Each structure stands twice: as structure tokens, then as C-alpha cells.
Amino acid sequence: MKFPFRTIALIGKYKTPEITGPLLRLADFLSGRGVAVVVDNLTAEHLDRHDFPVLPLREMDGQVDLAIVLGGDGTLLNITCTLAPSGIPLVGVNQGRLGFLTDISLDTVQQTIADMLDGKFVTEQRMLLAARILRDGEEVFDALAFNEVVVHRGNVSTLIEFEVRIDGEYLYNQRADGLIVATPTGSTAYALSAGGPILHPSLDLIALVPVCPHTMSNRPIVVKSKSRLEILLHRAHAVRVRLDSHTHFDLQGNDRLEVTSYSRPAILLHPLGHSYYHTLREKLLWNKTL
């Protein structure tokens, strides 16, 4: 990570008009601080006016020192998987409610970013997952996930049948609606609603959480992040693999899905005083009395 931040990319939630005003005000603020500002090409298409350089996300490697994402957690998930390989740190600005990842409010964004420009921030590394699909021994798909890799059935009301192996060792055969492979970040997303454990994001762990398994004895299991997970589809009619909310691929019988931790972590920056436990209390309403 390069500091001080001399060039900052601004990225807005795709096709969200209400982001235009805050993004341009932030861009003007940064320019006033002597920071070079670039805007990603998709965001630039929806701005009313701007005279900032435009760069596609995949061309930002080596060109920007920091990326500020305005939107929600879903937007940041997508952007992170694109920028993480380049090591660009990210800051999330939430356009509405407090998010798990986008923890800076629009109301305080300029002061918070000013503090970050002065070095007042907390750096956090979070694990990503790398997934690939082998069909007849050939790789036909690969992508990254920040929250989870999910194997799930489509609109057909039949259970999926699959086999799971960890580091080559047989774990179980399962009939279920699906299987979630989650990072600690993703443990508070889909995996949580399926009964999985909450994992602190600093942990190097992967959670396997079955979705509506056809047995009362099957429970989530947590394994080390260096594990190599293999999911072999025995019955795959209308079955899909989904990575976070932005990438999917249709599976066939005997396809093999391999999931490992990605070699580089995502780098998130937070304001001083950031607390994961505070976020849990707020988002999960733990501070509310019944």
C-alpha cells in the first residue's frame, strides 16, 4: 500500500443517480487537497459533469493508490474482487444505512477522508476465495469471491446431490438445496441465514454451511484457510454456482468445483475507532431489548 495517497479512484454504485452529487462533491474536495482524482468508466457514464480522468477498473493497477467506493456492501463486494489482485486498498462509503463493509456515512465522508489523508485510519486484511470449475478435466470457469461461493439449485424442486472432499480426503455425500463456502466476511451474509457461525474477519478460516440438508445430522464445519475444497456434483439438473452477488455459472453432472483461499487479501481501510463488534450490535440488533 502506498501512502500518502496521491491518486484516488472514485467508484459509484452503478446506475444510481443519487450518488452523483456526493461523488462530485468528494472529487472536488480531494482535488482541493491536492489529490489527483480518477473515475472509473462505468461511473463516469452516469455523471452529469466532470473533468476527471477516466479509467476502467482493470487498468487501475499501478495507477491509483486508493479506491473509494460509494454505494453499499454489494457494490464493494464486486469492486473488491476486481481490484484485490492489484493490492489497491479500498474505503467503503454507505449511501444509506450502516453496512458491514461500507462503514463511512455520507454525512461525515469529507471529514473522515480528510483524516485518512492525514494517516488516521485502520488497515484491515480480509480473505478472498478463488473458485474454479473442472469439466472432463478441463477448467471451464474461474473467479474470485469476497463473501461466499454457493452451489444451489435453480427453480426445480429437487435436491442437489454432491460429494465434498477437503485436501483430497472424503468428508461426506450430501443431498441438500445447496452448499455455502464462506469467508469470515461472508459469515454474516447468506451463511448466517442458513445457520452458519459468525467468524471474526481477522480469522483465516473457511466455513462450509449446507442449505436445507436432507438429514438432521449434517452441520456447518469450519476448516483452515489453506484447505483445498472439492465439490463433485452427482446430480446437477438446473444447478448453478454463484460467487457473491455478481458472478454465476451453470453446472453439469460430474463437474468438479474447487475452492481455495486467494493468494492476496483484500485491503480495507476504516476510520480510527472502527469496531467490528459495534457493527455486529448495530446490524444484528443485539443492542435492542425484546
* Active site amino acids: 73
Find cell 447468506 and name the residue.
190
194-227 residues labelled b (16+ CB within 10 A) or e (exposed): bebbebebeeebbbbbbbebeeeeeebbbbeeeb
- For 29, the grid coordinates are 474536495
Phi, psi dihedrals of residue 65, rounded to the nearest 5°: -100, -20
> Is there a contact between 229 and 148 (Cβ–Cβ < 8 Å)?
no
Task: Look at residues 97, 117, 116 and name the one whose alpha carbon lies nearest to residue 107.
Answer: 97
Q: Is 50 exposed, middle or buried (0-12, 13-18, 19+ CB in 10 A)?
A: middle
> Is there a contact between 225 and 204 (Cβ–Cβ < 8 Å)?
yes
CB atoms within 10 A of CB 170: 10
> Is there a contact between 106 and 249 (Cβ–Cβ < 8 Å)?
no
CB neighbours of 61 closer than 8 A, spacing ≥ 6?
A: 85, 86, 88
CB neighbours of 93 closer than 8 A, spacing ≥ 6?
A: 22, 26, 68, 69, 70, 71, 102, 104, 105, 106, 109
Cα–Cα distance, 176 to 158 (Å, whole number): 9
